[in-house]
Amino acid sequence: MASDIPHNGLPQPTGLPSDITLFLAKPRHGRTPVPLPGHFAAIWESYAAALDTAPLDADTRRAYASRLRGYLSWIAATDTGSGDPLTGAGARDGAVRDYRTHLQTVLKRKPTTINAHLAAIADFYTRSTSLGVPLAARLDLPRTVSRALDAREQTRWLRACERCLNPRDRALGYLAFYAGLRISEMVALDCQDVPLSARKGQIIIRSGKGRRYREIPAHPILRENLHLWIHIERTAWTNAETNPALFLNRRGERLSVKGADDILNTLATDAGIEEFTSHRPRHTFGTNLVRAGNDIVLAAELMGHARLETTRRYTLPTAADSQSAINALPTDN
């Protein structure tokens, strides 16, 4: 069935793909879609249909469609001044900036949420109109401290590694904590990348993020456990003589990222650490380096960071630091 052309010139869809139709018919549990009057509903449906072929994952498509619905509903209920925000560049920019203010001051949304809405709106104007990206700056985000393990969690992590009966898994846990490698870097290691002697050792990252090369001295505990794994335990594993990978799975293949992630999560569960990700030991490594008084340039080199600003976040105060500072203020007692 042919569709009409709304007054703003944007086409209405003649039919929606099945998954978009399902999205329209079955909104997410607990959410009631914002109602859209007249031609605004057709504009939204057209955009939702266009999202179906966009190179975005399903959650992003759903989020973009939901955020645009909110923006169109706000336009429909608001006097945005002169011009149509859906057809004029100047009116578009003013409307998007006003909507940003509305999200910030009326709906009390956080900066990250507001920027996510602005991203969806920019995608709409780029994908479904000829106007292009609106001239509306994103909000500055508050600097966030890294998700490092606190002192008690670190102790529990090390104890979980110590009592781990699998020498491969134990070495992996110590490697994450004492070398701060990304999980992809750990599984990419070959045995020759870990030269060890009685007194020292190195972890050589030949192609880290951004293809950066770096060398990390091995902590004594890490060196001891890597030596045990490489020279004693690993030799009995399938394909140990022919597969150069440092970490093998039970089939004699290189341990996958998922396999390594499962191992680290098992250690975290044993340590009683909640909200764990494989990146938290890396954050802990960086935080420990900086807070021990080491030069930030050295920390950046050991972490494999291209920018010092990335490393600088490990100097930011934690919530516990802030609370301690407040608690230390004088009282009249």
Residue 213 is a catalytic residue: no
Burial tier of 118 (Cβ tally within 10 Å: 0-12, 13-18, 19+): buried
Only one residue has tokens 């140990």, namely 240
In the chain, helix, strand, coil percent, each to 5? 55, 5, 40
258: amino acid identity, one letter: K
One of 97, 138, 279, 313 is an active-site residue; which one?
A: 279
Distance CA 219, CA 224 (A): 9
Closest Cα to residue 72, out of 47, 89, 106? 47
Distance CA 80, CA 71 (A): 12
Distance CA 115, CA 120 (A): 9
One of 100, 280, 282, 283 is an active-site residue; which one?
A: 282
For residue 113 the two structure tokens come to 């949420």
Distance CA 112, CA 103 (A): 11
Residue 159 is a catalytic residue: no
Contact present, 283 and 311 (Cβ < 8 Å) = no
Task: Please tell me what DSSP assigns to residue 182.
Answer: -
Q: With H, G, I as helix, E, B as strand and everything else as coil, classify residue 17.
A: coil
| Run of H or E residues at 119 | helix 111-128
One of 156, 182, 223, 283 is an active-site residue; which one?
A: 182
Distance CA 45, CA 90 (A): 24
Residue 64 is a catalytic residue: no
Residue 182 is a catalytic residue: yes
Helix axes 151-163, 167-179, angle to 10 degrees: 150
Residue 209 is a catalytic residue: yes
Distance CA 193, CA 148 (A): 27
Closest Cα to residue 256, out of 265, 245, 266? 245
One of 159, 209, 212, 291 is an active-site residue; which one?
A: 209
CA dihedral for 237, 241, 247, 250, sign (positive or negative): negative
One of 92, 168, 283, 305 is an active-site residue; which one?
A: 305
Residue 211 is a catalytic residue: no
User: Which residues carry out catalysis?
Assistant: 182, 209, 279, 282, 305, 314
